[in-house]
């Protein structure tokens, strides 16, 4: 049997995507590739379909790297030989590439282990839904680990291939979605004055979302509120509606700013409900804490980048997207790293996204070099 190249591995993963929480076949493939690298410990079904591989002695400091197993519920629009074989499901965030890089790191370790270091690889389920990291962290096997560092990386389209982006402090935003539900009183459509319609509240909230969104995204204190879904009444043309709901995705540079934004939104919605005699309930879904990069760990990444002579950019503001890496970074020192995936690369989650295979090798080089920085001298 010939060993598959990392590019072949990436393309096999791309052809066989699985949704968040359903990554069983992906985990099986990962397990087989990792077993070829002879890990000292291999744990399956970690926090769902997660795979944890440990290399080296338990008495040495653990340097843990994370990749994600899941794909997206979006139909791929690519004409490539390794196009997704599953209708309505595709690796459009590049998690196939991130996984291949960790397989590459395991292969490097097998060729040349790093003395005085324990290497951990966690292939995490359900990143896209924000559930996987928290589930992994409360898994019994994970609770026994005390990583010295935890690192993850994400490809960043629109930036030169292989460019490394770092930031001390917040690297990716605190994000959640809030559902607001209003209940009033219906009336004949000819007599809207007898109804308590939530129509005005929904309209006001759609406008408020715009004013709660910063015009200047480079401002440290930026906030973004995006209405993603709204529903008022039904197709009953004789009825003034008495029911409505609006779903808003909200983001800010850190958890405290997001909490403040949420307080403002709820206070405004409560005021609107009171004015129009409506009852209001709310629900928060898909929360992602901000990923707060540890200062020392970030310096260590910068040192590795300089030593490799790679292109380094220090970001001025956090990324506006959510990443569940924030759960790990709240517990252990580490860094989320940005890796440019090409100036012409289409955006993440775009139906035409396909991870550039040319990024795998430089990515593995960076991870391995970073790891050697913890070598016992
Ligand atoms: Zn994504
Ligand atoms: Zn992603």
Q: Are strands 164-166 and 334-340 parallel, antiparallel or unpaired?
A: antiparallel
Q: Out of 288, 312, 341, pick the residue that ends a domain.
A: 288
d(CA 52, CA 46): 7
Contact 182, 282 (CB under 8 A): no
Domain identity same for 181 and 280? yes
Ligand nearest the Cα of residue 348 is 1
Cα of 313 from ligand 1 centre, angstroms: 22
Domain identity same for 192 and 336? no
How confident is the model over 147-173, as a mean pLDDT? 97
Domain identity same for 342 and 212? no
In the prediction, which pLDDT does 1 show? 55
Contact 359, 155 (CB under 8 A): yes
Cα of 341 from ligand 1 centre, angstroms: 14
Cα of 154 from ligand 2 centre, angstroms: 6
Domain identity same for 284 and 299? no
The predicted-structure confidence for 247-267, as pLDDT tens digits, reads as follows 999 999 999 999 999 999 999
- Does 377 have pLDDT greater than 80? no
Rounded to a whole number of angstroms, the CA Rg of the chain reads 23
Q: What is the mean pLDDT of the chain?
A: 96
Cα of 349 from ligand 2 centre, angstroms: 8
Q: Out of 288, 323, 342, pick the residue that ends a domain.
A: 288
Cα of 364 from ligand 1 centre, angstroms: 21
Cα of 143 from ligand 2 centre, angstroms: 24
Which H or E run contains 108? Answer: helix 95-111
In the prediction, which pLDDT does 219 show? 84
In the prediction, which pLDDT does 3 show? 87
In the prediction, which pLDDT does 213 show? 95
Distances (CA, A) of 125 to 99, 141, 176, 315: 11, 15, 19, 28
d(CA 246, CA 225): 12
Cα of 96 from ligand 2 centre, angstroms: 10
d(CA 260, CA 36): 49
The torsion angles phi and psi of 127, rounded to 5 degrees, stand at: -75, -40
Domain identity same for 210 and 305? no
Cα of 90 from ligand 1 centre, angstroms: 11
In the prediction, which pLDDT does 204 show? 98
In DSSP terms, 115 is beta-bridged to none
The predicted-structure confidence for 93-149, as pLDDT tens digits, reads as follows 999 999 999 999 999 999 999 999 999 999 999 999 889 999 999 999 998 999 999
- Does 234 have pLDDT greater than 80? yes
Distances (CA, A) of 66 to 125, 162, 243, 311, 367: 10, 18, 44, 22, 11
Domain identity same for 280 and 322? no
Domain identity same for 31 and 106? yes
Distances (CA, A) of 275 to 179, 181, 212: 20, 15, 21
Domain identity same for 194 and 275? yes
Cα of 189 from ligand 1 centre, angstroms: 43
- Does 239 have pLDDT greater than 60? yes
As residues whose CB is below 5 A from the ion ligand 2, the structure lists: 93
DSSP labels for 171-195? EE-EEEEEEEEEE-B-EETT-GGGS
Cα of 69 from ligand 2 centre, angstroms: 10
CA angle 214, 218, 224 (to 5 degrees): 30
In the prediction, which pLDDT does 61 show? 97
In the prediction, which pLDDT does 5 show? 97
CA dihedral 55, 322, 290, 307 (to 10 degrees): 50
Domain identity same for 45 and 88? yes
Please tell me the least confidently modeled range out of 172-186, 209-223, 252-266.
209-223
Q: Report if residue 72 sits inside a domain.
A: yes
Answer with the residue of higher pLDDT: 218 or 333: 333
In the prediction, which pLDDT does 220 show? 82
Residue 225: name the closest of 237, 217, 236, 233 by CA. 217
d(CA 198, CA 232): 7
Contact 184, 277 (CB under 8 A): yes
Cα of 322 from ligand 1 centre, angstroms: 9
User: Number of structural domains, the chain?
Assistant: 2
The predicted-structure confidence for 30-66, as pLDDT tens digits, reads as follows 999 999 999 999 999 999 999 999 999 999 999 999 9
Q: Are strands 50-55 and 118-124 parallel, antiparallel or unpaired?
A: antiparallel
- Helices 95-111, 24-35: inter-axial angle, 10-degree rounding: 20
Structure tokens at 138: 């409360």
Q: Are strands 239-240 and 187-188 parallel, antiparallel or unpaired?
A: antiparallel
Cα of 75 from ligand 1 centre, angstroms: 14
- Does 216 have pLDDT greater than 90? no
Band of residue 184 on the pLDDT scale cut at 50, 70, 90: very high
Domain region containing 282: 174-288
Ligand nearest the Cα of residue 341 is 2
Q: Are strands 312-314 and 164-166 parallel, antiparallel or unpaired?
A: parallel
Band of residue 363 on the pLDDT scale cut at 50, 70, 90: very high
Domain identity same for 269 and 336? no
Q: Out of 288, 318, 344, pick the residue that ends a domain.
A: 288
Residue 66: name the closest of 90, 98, 40, 93 by CA. 98
CATH number at residue 148: 3.40.630.10
The predicted-structure confidence for 67-86, as pLDDT tens digits, reads as follows 999 999 999 999 999 999 99
Structure letter (DSSP) for residue 61:
P
Ligand nearest the Cα of residue 338 is 2
In the prediction, which pLDDT does 94 show? 98
Q: Which residues of 264-295 are buried (b: 16+ CB within 10 A; e: fewer)?
A: ebeebbeebbeebebebeeeeeebbbbbbbbe
Distances (CA, A) of 199 to 192, 273, 375: 11, 11, 63
Domain identity same for 276 and 204? yes
């Amino acid at each position: 049997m010939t060993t598959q190249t990392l590019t072949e591995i990436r393309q096999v993963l791309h052809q066989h995507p699985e949704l968040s929480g359903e990554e069983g076949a992906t985990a099986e493939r990962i397990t087989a590739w990792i077993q070829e690298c002879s890990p000292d410990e291999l744990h399956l079904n970690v926090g769902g379909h997660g795979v944890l591989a440990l290399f080296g002695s338990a008495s040495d400091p653990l340097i843990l790297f994370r990749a994600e197993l899941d794909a997206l519920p979006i139909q791929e629009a690519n004409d490539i030989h390794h196009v997704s074989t599953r209708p309505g499901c595709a690796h459009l965030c590049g998690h196939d590439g991130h996984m291949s890089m960790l397989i590459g790191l395991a292969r490097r370790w097998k060729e040349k282990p790093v003395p005085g270091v324990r290497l951990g690889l966690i292939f995490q389920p359900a990143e896209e839904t924000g559930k996987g990291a928290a589930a992994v962290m409360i898994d019994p096997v994970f609770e026994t680990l005390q990583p010295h560092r935890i690192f993850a990386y994400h490809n960043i389209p629109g930036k030169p291939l292989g460019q490394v982006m770092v930031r001390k402090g917040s690297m990716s935003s605190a994000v959640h979605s809030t559902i607001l539900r209003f209940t009033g009183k219906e009336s004949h459509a000819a007599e809207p004055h007898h109804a308590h319609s939530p129509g005005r509240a929904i309209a006001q909230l759609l406008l408020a979302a715009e004013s709660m969104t910063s015009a200047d995204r480079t401002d440290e204190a930026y906030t973004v509120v995006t209405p993603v879904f709204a529903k008022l009444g039904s197709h009953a043309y004789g009825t003034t509606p008495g029911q409505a709901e609006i779903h808003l995705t909200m983001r800010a540079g850190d958890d405290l700013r997001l909490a403040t934004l949420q307080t403002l939104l709820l206070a405004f919605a409560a005021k609107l409900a009171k004015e129009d005699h409506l009852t209001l309930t709310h629900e928060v879904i898909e929360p992602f804490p901000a990923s707060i990069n540890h200062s020392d760990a970030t310096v260590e990444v910068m040192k590795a980048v300089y030593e490799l002579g790679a292109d380094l950019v220090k970001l001025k503001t956090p990324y506006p997207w959510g990443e569940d890496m924030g759960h790990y970074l709240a517990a252990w020192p580490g860094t989320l790293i940005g890796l440019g995936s090409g100036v012409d690369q289409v955006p993440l989650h775009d139906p035409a996204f396909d991870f550039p295979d040319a990024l795998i090798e430089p990515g593995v080089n960076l991870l391995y070099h970073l790891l050697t920085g913890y070598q016992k001298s």
